[in-house]
């Protein structure tokens, strides 16, 4: 076995709780939704049974309305280990927010690693309900696109694209940030960001997790991943001998709506649902539609990715934010650093669109950077230096996948 793969497997073993994996032992001591999907992509090569278990555990916490919660709290972990913990959410063992829907692809990949019809049949209706919740309850703009109601739902918490819509949200005070006990303040979101996150989450909680509040944004990353997930669901349906047209049509509708309403000047931008305006920040979320195999504008989007804003192929990974923007910060969370899940997704997109040399280069860089940084949470795109926590699960899992 390759040494890096062995080290990555050890990280995943160390972060395994028995039925799910924590993103990291100190900073994120519970189960996170999209982390678990990325983790399953790696686990399937090491232990397909553990990959299935990871996903089953997450979906066991699915709400009756179909939403898959963004955090499932581990009952054995002290509640004060993470803020906001279980008592904040008033939602039993879970939070009430969601995260990008990468799960259908992960379920399909786990099945492909070791076919298990019972697993597939059990997860299929849950995935249908999950996507159904997003498409119906979250179409706040009426454009056929999902709106996220909190920056945490994008998975890219302090993305510069959220700065403008967040100006409407007052600051909460009187809480203690547990994240700063584990992370360097310069690598994490600011106190002002946190104040707004907490206020927004509390307002959503107090509405019974129903009302679209001050923050509602159509994120191209989230919507592209949902379209891709619908395509994966179509494949799952076919595998089960069920009709799949509705899933392919849902994917096509999402792609059309993104193309018609979020695409401008060679890029996919987020839209602020309250103002109706595009948020003209170039973040890595706008590159994620590359995961869609029949994306007509792929050549133009690849040109943006390889151009001065992202310099794909000439920096480490895929920068989370425009390298030419005055606010670009190579070490601060989602405001510049390269994240491994994004690099892994973009590599898949490059393969779809015939960019084989660039995809191979990105793969080699991701594996090398992951190994050199001890599976860092994110890295400086200009130097490759690690930032955030180390022994981070999705970095390790996606490295296993790239090496398998």
Chain positions contacting ligand 2M8, by CB under 6 A: 23, 28, 32, 34-35, 70, 152, 155, 157, 179
Question: Residue 397 and residue 155: Cα distance in Å, rounded?
Answer: 17
The H or E element that residue 52 is part of is: helix 48-60
Question: Residue 388 and residue 183: Cα distance in Å, rounded?
Answer: 6
Question: Residue 200 and residue 173: Cα distance in Å, rounded?
Answer: 12
Could you say which DSSP state residue 334 is in? T
Question: Would you state the structure tokens that stand for residue 315, as one six-digit string?
Answer: 């920096």
Rank residues 197 and 263 by Cβ distance to ligand 2M8 and give the closer one.
197
- Taking the complex as a whole, how short is the minimal distance between the CB of residue 100 and ligand 2M8, in angstroms? 8
- Taking the complex as a whole, how short is the minimal distance between the CB of residue 140 and ligand 2M8, in angstroms? 21
Active-site amino acid positions = 157, 377
- Taking the complex as a whole, how short is the minimal distance between the CB of residue 354 and ligand 2M8, in angstroms? 29
Rank residues 88 and 307 by Cβ distance to ligand 2M8 and give the closer one.
88
Nearest to 377, CA basis, from 353, 363, 396: 396
Rank residues 81 and 300 by Cβ distance to ligand 2M8 and give the closer one.
81
Rank residues 111 and 335 by Cβ distance to ligand 2M8 and give the closer one.
335
Question: Would you state the structure tokens that stand for residue 61, as one six-digit string?
Answer: 């916490």
| List of residues 6+ apart from 80 with CB closer than 8 A | 178
Rank residues 4 and 159 by Cβ distance to ligand 2M8 and give the closer one.
159
- Taking the complex as a whole, how short is the minimal distance between the CB of residue 139 and ligand 2M8, in angstroms? 23
- Taking the complex as a whole, how short is the minimal distance between the CB of residue 178 and ligand 2M8, in angstroms? 9
- Taking the complex as a whole, how short is the minimal distance between the CB of residue 152 and ligand 2M8, in angstroms? 4
Question: Residue 50 and residue 104: Cα distance in Å, rounded?
Answer: 17
- Taking the complex as a whole, how short is the minimal distance between the CB of residue 133 and ligand 2M8, in angstroms? 19
Contact 4, 366 (CB under 8 A): no
């Amino acid at each position: 076995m390759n040494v890096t793969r062995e080290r990555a497997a050890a990280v995943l073993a160390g972060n395994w709780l028995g039925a799910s994996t924590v993103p990291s032992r100190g900073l994120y001591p519970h189960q996170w939704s999209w982390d678990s999907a990325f983790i399953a992509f790696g686990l399937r090569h090491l232990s397909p049974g553990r990959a299935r278990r990871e996903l089953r555990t997450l979906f066991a916490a699915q709400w009756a309305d179909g939403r898959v919660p963004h955090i499932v709290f581990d009952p054995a972990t002290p509640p004060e280990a993470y803020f906001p913990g279980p008592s904040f959410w008033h939602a039993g063992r879970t939070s009430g927010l969601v995260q990008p829907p990468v799960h259908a692809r992960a379920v399909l990949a786990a099945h492909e690693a070791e076919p298990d019809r019972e697993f597939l049949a059990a997860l299929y209706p849950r995935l249908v309900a999950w996507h159904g919740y997003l498409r119906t309850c979250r179409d706040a703009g009426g454009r056929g696109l999902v709106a996220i109601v909190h920056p945490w739902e994008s998975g890219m918490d302090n993305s510069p694209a959220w700065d403008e819509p967040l100006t409407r949200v007052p600051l909460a005070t009187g809480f203690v940030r547990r994240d700063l006990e584990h992370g360097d303040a310069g690598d994490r979101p600011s106190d002002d960001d946190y104040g707004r996150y907490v206020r927004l989450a509390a307002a959503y909680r107090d509405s019974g997790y129903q009302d679209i509040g001050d923050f509602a944004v159509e994120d191209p990353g989230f919507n592209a991943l949902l379209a891709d997930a619908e395509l994966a669901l179509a494949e799952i349906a076919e595998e089960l001998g069920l009709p799949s047209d509705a899933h392919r049509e849902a994917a096509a509708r999402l792609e059309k709506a993104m193309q018609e309403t979020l695409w401008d000047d060679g890029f996919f931008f987020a839209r602020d649902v309250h103002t109706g305006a595009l948020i003209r920040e170039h973040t890595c979320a706008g590159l994620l539609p590359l995961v869609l195999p029949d994306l007509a504008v792929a050549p133009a989007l690849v040109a943006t990715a390889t151009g001065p804003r992202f310099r794909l192929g000439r920096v480490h990974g895929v920068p989370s934010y425009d390298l030419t923007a005055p606010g670009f910060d190579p070490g601060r969370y989602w405001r510049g650093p390269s994240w491994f899940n994004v690099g892994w997704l973009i590599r898949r997109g490059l393969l779809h669109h015939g960019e084989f040399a660039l995809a191979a280069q990105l793969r080699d860089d991701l594996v090398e950077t992951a190994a050199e940084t001890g599976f860092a949470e994110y890295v400086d795109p200009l130097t490759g230096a690690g930032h955030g926590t180390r022994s981070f699960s999705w970095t390790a899992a996606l490295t296993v996948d790239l090496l398998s």
